[in-house]
Amino acid sequence: MSFLDRLFGQETRSKDIAKQRLQLVLVHDRAGIPAALIELIKDEIIQVISKHLEIDREAMEVNLTVAEKGQNRLVADIPIIHVKEPYGT
Partner 1 sequence: MTTRVVTITSGKGGVGKTTTTANLAASLAQAGKRVVAIDADIGLRNLDVVLGLENRIVYDIVDVVEGRCRLRQALIRDKRLPDLNLLPAAQTRDKSAVRPDQMIHLVEQLYNDFDFVLIDSPAGIEQGFRNAIAPAKEILIVTTPEVSAVRDADRIIGLIEAEGKGPGRLILNRIKPDLVKRGDMLDTHDVLDILAIELIGIVPEDESIVVSTNKGVPIVMNGATPAGVAYRNIARRLLGEEVPFQVLKTTHPGLLDRLFRFARGQG
CB neighbours (10 Å) of residue 49?
Answer: 16
For residue 26, state whether it binds partner 1 (rule: CB under 8 A).
yes
Residues with Cβ within 8 Å of 80's Cβ and at least 6 positions away in sequence, in order, are: 53, 54, 55, 56
Shortest spacing between CB 22 and partner 1, in angstroms: 5
Tell me which of 9, 15, 47, 85 binds partner 1, using CB under 8 A: 15
> CB within 8 A of 1, min separation 6: which ones?
10, 11, 13
Q: Does 18 bind partner 1 (CB under 8 A)?
A: yes
Looking at 26-34, 37-45, 56-64, 72-80, which segment touches partner 1 (CB under 8 A)? Answer: 26-34
Specify whether the CB–CB gap between 53 and 83 falls below 8 A: yes
Binding residues for partner 1, total number by CB under 8 A? 15
Question: Which parts of this chain interact with partner 1 (CB under 8 A)?
Answer: 6, 13-16, 18-19, 21-23, 25-26, 29-30, 68
